[in-house]
């Protein structure tokens, strides 16, 4: 802005010099005086002064263990008024670390726990559904013994200690897309995914229709941003401290996802075939 201001002054001075001197001086003298005005308005030592300022800025940054490989960019950075940061580790790390799961207890959320695989043996349906949702609500696939898909989904699935098996296809029954099986010591059945509605950034969630092989029941599982899942859930089933716990962990730089389920009563394979996303998430 300073250089632009000096440039405007020099242009005004150039025009005024020509206008005032015209008719009194020779043309070459007028041009010499007009150019002289420009040289006076824009000091010759300005580039050197700016260079000294950049060197001083580099030394101050170096004291803060900040190293700049493009010194001219310092002047550009000086014009920045707002800086927005993404989640911790998004740009600096190529892997994710599962912190744990928070499940509801008597209408409130308990502390973070990393023993996700034990949820099935605690005799509470909500905890079992939480484990099942983590095991089937994803788009990962087993390719030659290696799980391939979104790193977050892979890390979350690994925490359950379940395995992806080849689904069994039966006649007159809708084919399962994937089959997640629990460890042998876990007292619950496998869960097969019958229909998947992929994650979209606009909806901020993904959903699946699954069949619990232990009793043949159909369940809809949804995973997505806490705010979106909260808006879809029956508020009477949401823990009272949901917002408080969410704020606590997001302020600590953690990426938080919410899980929800819905029992699909009176569902059959034929109804699953024709169901729409709105039917599940309504």
DSSP codes, 163-188? EEEPPPP-TTSPPPSEEEE--TTS-S
At 155-199, the pLDDT tens digits run: 999 989 999 886 765 554 567 788 888 888 777 889 999 999 999
**Local structure of residue 149 (DSSP, 8 states):** S
Structure tokens at 92: 């600096």
Residues 167-205 as b or e (16 or more Cβ within 10 Å = b) = beeeeeebebbbbbbbeeebebbbbbbbbbbebeeeeeb
Q: Rounded to whole angstroms, what are the CA distances from 73 to 47, 57, 79? A: 15, 11, 10
Examine the residue annotation and report whether 234 is marked as an active-site residue of this protein: no
Q: What is the pLDDT of residue 17?
A: 81
The pLDDT, as a whole number, for residue 74 is 86
| DSSP-based three-state secondary structure for 150 | coil
Burial category of 233 from C-beta neighbours within 10 Å (exposed 0-12, middle 13-18, buried 19 and up): middle
Whether the CB-CB separation of 209 and 195 falls below 8 Å is answered with yes
Per-position pLDDT tens, the chain of length 282: 667 777 788 888 888 888 888 777 777 787 887 777 777 777 777 778 888 888 999 999 889 888 888 888 888 887 888 887 766 566 666 677 888 888 887 777 777 677 887 887 777 888 889 999 999 999 988 888 888 888 889 999 998 999 988 676 555 456 778 888 888 877 788 999 999 999 998 999 999 999 999 888 999 999 999 999 999 998 888 888 899 989 988 888 888 999 999 999 888 888 888 888 988 887
Non-local (6+) Cβ contacts of 215 within 8 A are 189
- Provide the Cα torsion 259, 165, 158, 148; round to 10°: -90
198 near 224, Cβ under 8 Å? no
Which pLDDT does position 206 carry in this prediction? 94
- Tell me phi and psi for residue 112, to 5 degrees: -65, 135
Q: What is the pTM of this model?
A: 0.65
Contact indicator for 260, 220 with CB cutoff of 8 Å: no
Please state the domain extents for the chain.
2-77, 104-281
Please name the residue ranges forming H helices in the chain.
2-21, 27-41, 46-63, 73-77, 125-136, 151-160, 226-232, 242-251, 269-274, 277-281
Whole-angstrom distance, CA of residue 232 vs CA of residue 259? 11
Class of domain 104-281: alpha beta
Instruction: Give 181's strand partners.
Output: 163
The whole-number pLDDT of residue 172 equals: 47
Question: CA-to-CA distance for 194 and 136, rounded, in angstroms?
Answer: 10
Cα gap 99→275, rounded to integer Å: 35
Residue among 86, 106, 266, 282 flagged as catalytic? 86
């Amino acid at each position: 802005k300073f250089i632009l201001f000096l440039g405007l002054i020099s242009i005004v001075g150039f025009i005024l010099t020509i206008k005032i001197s015209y008719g009194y001086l020779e043309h070459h003298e007028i041009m010499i005086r007009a150019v002289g005005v420009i040289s006076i308005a824009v000091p010759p030592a300005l580039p050197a002064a700016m260079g000294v300022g950049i060197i001083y800025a580099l030394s101050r940054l170096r004291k803060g263990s900040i190293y700049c490989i493009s010194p001219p960019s310092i002047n550009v950075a000086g014009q920045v008024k707002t800086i927005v940061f993404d989640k911790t580790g998004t740009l600096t790390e190529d892997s994710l670390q599962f912190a744990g799961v928070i499940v509801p207890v008597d209408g409130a959320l308990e502390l973070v726990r990393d023993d996700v695989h034990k949820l099935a043996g605690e005799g509470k349906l909500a905890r079992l559904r939480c484990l099942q949702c983590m095991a089937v609500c994803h788009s990962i696939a087993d390719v030659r013994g290696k799980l391939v898909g979104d790193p977050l989904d892979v890390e979350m699935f690994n925490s359950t200690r379940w395995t992806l098996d080849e689904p069994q296809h039966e006649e007159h029954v809708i084919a399962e897309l994937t089959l997640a099986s629990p460890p042998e010591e876990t007292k619950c059945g496998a869960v097969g995914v019958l229909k998947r509605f992929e994650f979209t950034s606009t909806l901020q969630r993904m959903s699946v229709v699954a069949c619990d092989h232990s009793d043949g029941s159909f369940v809809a599982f949804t995973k997505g941003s806490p705010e979106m899942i909260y808006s879809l859930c029956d508020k009477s089933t949401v823990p009272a401290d949901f917002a408080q716990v969410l704020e606590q962990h997001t302020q600590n730089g953690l990426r938080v996802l919410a899980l929800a389920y819905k029992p699909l009563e009176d569902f059959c394979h034929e109804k699953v075939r024709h169901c729409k996303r709105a039917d599940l998430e309504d």
